[in-house]
Amino acid sequence: MFTQLWPGIVSTNLFPRAQVLEPAGGLMPNAIGQLRKDEEGFCVSYRHPGLAREYVIDEGKMRSWGQSQALLSEDEAEIQALRRQLRLINTRNRLTHMILMGIAEHQEAFLTSGDALHLRPLSQVALAEWLRGEAQGDSRFLPPGSKLELVDNSMISRLTRNVSVLSPQGRDIPLRDFLPSTRDVHKRMIEAILDEEKEQIRRGDIERAYTDEEIKKRLKERFGVSVSRRTVSACRQGMRIPSSYTRNSSYTYPPRLARFSFHYPLNVASVKANAPQAAGVYEISLAEMEVNYPLCSSGVVYIGSTKNLRKRLRDHLGRNSKNGDLRALLDSHRCSFRYILVQRNLREAEKELCRSFSTAYGSLPRCNRIRP
């Protein structure tokens, strides 16, 4: 039936600010198209022409055509089914196009820069209110006379589920990511401030981690965002970022609370004399040189844990050592060891020490092949 009516009786109107992407082969399966910017603003290049337009039935031509045909009841039913289908397609296409135009209008700074810190809070409810406002009278983004039917946030939720769009920079972004909550935006800003904190501590510009009160002030200074200290604390905890007290220990290696022994030469006689037959975490270092790690250099090449420090260190010195990288270093360089006695939670103590080293130097020690 559609074939009989197209294009004389059923035609299409292209949406304002809509194009067809040529070619569309590079899109991910869920990508609807690409948002692009030209002299007039943002437009959408859709992956398929059927998404960029609405279908229009010329009722006068339909009546004339119906009168000239000997239509059966089955034909009438098929025409009504086609009307319903086109109405549903039009509703979907109009709403999708308006959602993309709303995203472009509200998230212009992010789409222009590609920097996630420029995302603004935009809830589905707020977007639905904007759509309803645009639906009053002739919309800038729909053909003249075209109307957007009843809009609520549940419709937006369904249409943005599992759908993505390419940004002007070519990144495939789920539509849901354009609709962050205020808390999500605050978390992203706090994360940026804490990344800055880590770099400043590494360079020696500051001596300690920011408190929640100081993060609150940095949010105001850098982003112009005013929040309470309690909000900062809730966001930080929601991201599982420890307090400033804990971060102060993590950003330095070894942590300030770590009670290491003295450094001892790593050889059989020294291990026998200085390593106890007790559980603990140990560290092996090069005695005369350092390794260049991503953030800075260190002589530490291995961190491990064991229930018997003396036995494990002697095993490293033996020919049957399972860690080939460490064995090669011990054969070619003078090394030293030190240890911390641990009575319980041995693996957790090792994890904490490795985490502290990774934060301070940018990676695990050279001979740690897997994260504990």
pLDDT digits (tens, 9 = 90+) for 72-96: 888 889 999 999 999 999 999 999 9
Q: What is the pLDDT of residues 172-182, one digit of tens each?
A: 999 999 999 99
More confident residue, 88 or 319: 88
Q: What is the mean pLDDT of residues 169-198?
A: 92
Question: Are residues 187 and 174 part of one domain?
Answer: no
Question: Are residues 167 and 24 part of one domain?
Answer: yes
CB 212 within 8 A of CB 236: yes
Q: Which domain holds residue 337?
A: 264-361
CB 251 within 8 A of CB 201: yes
Residue 256 has pLDDT above 70, yes or no: no
Question: Does 259 reside within a domain?
Answer: no
At a CB cut-off of 8 Å and minimum separation 6, what does 314 contact? 268, 271, 272
Question: Are residues 160 and 16 part of one domain?
Answer: yes
Domain stop point among 228, 250, 272? 250
* Contacts made by residues 252-258, CB under 8 angstroms, sequence distance 24+: 252/356, 252/360, 253/298, 253/300, 253/356, 253/357, 253/359, 253/360, 253/361, 254/283, 254/353, 254/356, 255/352, 255/353, 255/356, 258/340, 258/353, 258/356
Distances (CA, A) of 255 to 44, 219, 245: 52, 28, 11
Residue 326 has pLDDT above 70, yes or no: yes
Q: Which of 94-98, 135-139, 151-155 has the lowest mean pLDDT?
A: 135-139
Question: Does 123 reside within a domain?
Answer: yes
Question: Does 367 reside within a domain?
Answer: no
pLDDT given for residue 249 in this prediction = 66
Q: What is the mean pLDDT of residues 351-368?
A: 88
When divided into structural domains, the chain yields a total of 3
CB 103 within 8 A of CB 67: no
Q: What are phi and psi of 53, to 5 degrees?
A: -150, 170
Q: What is the mean pLDDT of residues 164-179?
A: 93
Q: Is the peptide bond before 254 cis (omega within 30 degrees of 0)?
A: yes
Question: Does 371 reside within a domain?
Answer: no
Question: Are residues 169 and 186 part of one domain?
Answer: no
Question: Does 19 reside within a domain?
Answer: yes
- 112 alpha carbon, distance to own chain's centre: 18
d(CA 232, CA 235): 5
CATH number for the domain harbouring residue 332 = 3.40.1440.10
pLDDT given for residue 67 in this prediction = 84
Question: Does 372 reside within a domain?
Answer: no
Distances (CA, A) of 83 to 6, 18, 48, 78, 322: 13, 24, 21, 9, 73
Residue 255 has pLDDT above 80, yes or no: no
Question: Are residues 313 and 219 part of one domain?
Answer: no
CB 313 within 8 A of CB 271: yes
Question: Are residues 208 and 171 part of one domain?
Answer: no
Question: Are residues 113 and 54 part of one domain?
Answer: yes
The residue length of the chain stands at 372
d(CA 184, CA 187): 5
Question: Are residues 274 and 146 part of one domain?
Answer: no
Question: Does 366 reside within a domain?
Answer: no
pLDDT given for residue 302 in this prediction = 96
